[in-house]
């Protein structure tokens, strides 16, 4: 259980760090795009921020899924 908690904490911390650096790096970009959903559009965001956010959310969801599927029982 402690091993799962360590992995989960590491996964969430690395995702938060990636989002932090992504926000710092994408502040001064000039070209911005809007995402068009069915109901409305988002605010204008740089394409690198959109791609980085999707990558980070994929990293977070994949990491959480892999941590939760680990079997930590001893096989003696």
Mean per-residue pLDDT for 16-40?
Answer: 82
The pLDDT value given to residue 17: 92
Phi and psi (nearest 5°) for 72? Answer: -100, 10
CA atoms within 13 A on the CB side of 27: 6
Reference 45, options 17, 20, 23, 61; nearest CA is 23
> Is it the case that residue 13 has pLDDT exceeding 90?
yes
pLDDT at residue 46 greater than cutoff 90:
no
Kindly report whether the global pTM for this prediction surpasses the value 0.85: no
* Residue bearing the bigger pLDDT, 23 or 14: 14
C-alpha of 74 from chain center: 32
Determine the pLDDT at residue 26: 74
Q: Which of 7-11, 22-26, 35-39, 71-75 has the lowest mean pLDDT?
A: 71-75
Q: How far apart are CA 29 and CA 73, in angstroms?
A: 49
């Amino acid at each position: 259980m402690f091993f799962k908690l360590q992995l989960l904490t590491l996964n969430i911390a690395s995702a938060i760090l990636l989002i932090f650096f992504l926000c710092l790096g994408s502040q001064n970009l000039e070209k911005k795009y809007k995402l068009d959903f069915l109901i409305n559009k988002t605010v204008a965001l740089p394409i690198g921020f959109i791609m980085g956010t999707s990558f980070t959310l994929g990293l977070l969801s994949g990491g959480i899924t892999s941590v939760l599927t680990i079997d930590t029982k001893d096989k003696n």
